Structure 1
Amino acid sequence: MTTALNRVVALVPMRHHSERVPGKNYRPLAGKPLYRHILDTLLAVPEISEVVIDTDSPVILEGLARDYPQVRAIERPVHLRDGGIPMNEILMHDTSLVPADLYLQTHSTNPLLRAETLSRAIQTLRGVYPAYDSLFGVTRLQVRLWDQLTRPINHNPAILLRTQDLPPVYMENSCVYLFTRQTLEQRRNRLGERPYMFEISQEEAWDIDEESTFQMVEFLLLGRQAKNQQG
């Protein structure tokens, strides 16, 4: 007998400090702090039962208490605050506190993600479970790839195919992970034995990890907002 995966909890880890983009998670982006973009997206996903933020940031905790009373905040324990702690250990802690049939993990650094994309991801895993026991977001690449020893990875240099004719490869984009507590406990990993690759367009899959990507994503968000205002 399989679970219906009815109760879906969204987990978003947010650290206070960021090495490459200082104050990234609460820095203003296109009119509001970065972390608010993903919260507003998650709250618009009808399949999600509860949104949970794990953070060590007093700035974010204060903002959640003031502006998002419907969002549950978990103050990250001191022993899990070091930047070298694996994300799976943080998820083990959070899932022990918040029961769910299915967990959706994403990041504040993916502000271009759309609510309908996350809905589609949940519906997709529900439709293929348990043949697939987890799901993760990927971005399709059709470019000529080489390894560090100058060996072609996905093409034959002697046959110059157009890039659009190359067999696609897929990059894990960290935009969305769907998994059960059982998978996390058994494998100490978000990915199960049979993960489903869920394709997300490059337009939505931008991840802010450098100052340049922060600026690029802000440009794209402002453009999206202007387009929405025009109708």
Structure 2
Amino acid sequence: MPDISTPPSPAIVALVPMRHHSERVPGKNYRLFAGRPLYHCIVESLLACPFITGVIIDTDSRFIMDDAQRHFPHVRLIERPEHLRDGKISTNDILMHDVSQTEADFFLQTHSTNPLLRSETISRAVKYFFAHYPDCDSLFSATRHQTRLWDHQGKPINHNPAILLRTQDLPPIFEENSNIYLFSRKTLEQHHNRIGAKPLMFEIDPAEAWDIDNELDFQISEFLYLHRHKTLTP
């Protein structure tokens, strides 16, 4: 596999969409996380990645816009238009809007709710993508699971109940973890989707791949973050 030791050309712009309101964890995008707004973590990881040449925050939140202007003056802000503010609007529609206003051929989309994602992991994902491009047209991050899964009808998905294999011997199954999506402008515009016709799956360690959807996710992610930075109180 070829290695890429320097940032690729053309540029990669990172997109971070954030809504002001959140149903399951109120105000989670800007809620204090380890003493500062949650979204700061992912923005700092993106800014520290040498492969990312620009960061864009798309938001309808005046708080986030004002806070980002103070703390991240080099980050570009896009105020989300009214017709894209409903919670049921697809992220792909929001990305289409942002890409239409940005001069770049490649984009990396992530979320403020991925506070444990490291800049080193983002770099590895970029290298992995360009090592396979153009045979692949997009990349998404995933988490490996080796456990017995069942569907809603009580039918086994990835195992034979009559053969009790150890979980570590089960064939792995992968969860799209929403941490990293990497795609070209062409792929997004052709498919109206951040995942194209020939996607590449990029595995992330479960301890790093938390995506905050509920209160428990928030508490676990904060614990892991504090433990990583050795700031837990005894």
Aligned residue for 1:178, secondary structure, equals strand
More helix by share: 1
Aligned residue for 2:70, secondary structure, equals helix
Residue 168 (structure 2) pairs with residue 172 (structure 1): no
TM-score (norm 1): 0.95
Residue 140 (structure 2) pairs with residue 107 (structure 1): no
Q: Counterpart in 1 of 2:18? A: 14
Q: Counterpart in 2 of 1:72? A: 76
Residues 5 and 101, structure 1, Cα contact 8 Å, conserved in 2 = no
Residue 132 (structure 2) pairs with residue 128 (structure 1): yes
Q: Counterpart in 1 of 2:66? A: 62
Residues 52 and 71, structure 1, Cα contact 8 Å, conserved in 2 = yes
Aligned residue for 1:24, secondary structure, equals coil
- CA deviation vs aligned residue, 1:28-77 (integer Å, no higher than 9, x gap): 10121101010111000000000000000011000111111100000001
Q: Counterpart in 2 of 1:203? A: 207
Task: Report the Cα distance in structure 2 between the residues aligned to 1:154 and 1:144, rounded to whole angstroms.
Answer: 7
Moved over 6 A (4+): none
TM-score (norm 2): 0.94
Q: Counterpart in 2 of 1:147? A: 151
Aligned residue for 1:212, secondary structure, equals helix
Q: Counterpart in 2 of 1:223? A: 227
Q: Counterpart in 1 of 2:56? A: 52
In structure 1, runs of 5+ residues without a counterpart are none
Name the aligned partner's letter for residue 206 of structure 2: Q
Aligned residue for 1:226, secondary structure, equals coil
Residues 5 and 126, structure 1, Cα contact 8 Å, conserved in 2 = no
Task: Report the Cα distance in structure 1 between the residues aligned to 2:103 and 2:130, rounded to whole angstroms.
Answer: 18
Q: Counterpart in 1 of 2:45? A: 41
Tell me how large the CA RMSD over aligned residues is.
Answer: 1.2
Moved more, 4-13 or 68-77: 4-13
Task: Report the Cα distance in structure 1 between the residues aligned to 2:216 and 2:130, rounded to whole angstroms.
Answer: 37
Task: Report the Cα distance in structure 2 between the residues aligned to 1:203 and 1:212, rounded to whole angstroms.
Answer: 15
In structure 2, runs of 5+ residues without a counterpart are 1-7
Task: Report the Cα distance in structure 2 between the residues aligned to 1:41 and 1:159, rounded to whole angstroms.
Answer: 44
Q: Counterpart in 1 of 2:89? A: 85
Task: Report the Cα distance in structure 2 between the residues aligned to 1:162 and 1:104, rounded to whole angstroms.
Answer: 37
Residues 125 and 135, structure 1, Cα contact 8 Å, conserved in 2 = yes
Name the aligned partner's letter for residue 102 of structure 2: V
Q: How far apart are residue 5 of structure 1 and its match?
A: 4.9
Moved more, 141-150 or 45-54: 141-150
Task: Report the Cα distance in structure 2 between the residues aligned to 1:44 and 1:6, rounded to whole angstroms.
Answer: 18
Aligned residue for 2:180, secondary structure, equals strand
Task: Report the Cα distance in structure 1 between the residues aligned to 2:220 and 2:44, rounded to whole angstroms.
Answer: 20
Residues 138 and 173, structure 1, Cα contact 8 Å, conserved in 2 = yes
Aligned residue for 1:103, secondary structure, equals strand
Matched pairs, number: 225
Q: Counterpart in 1 of 2:5? A: none
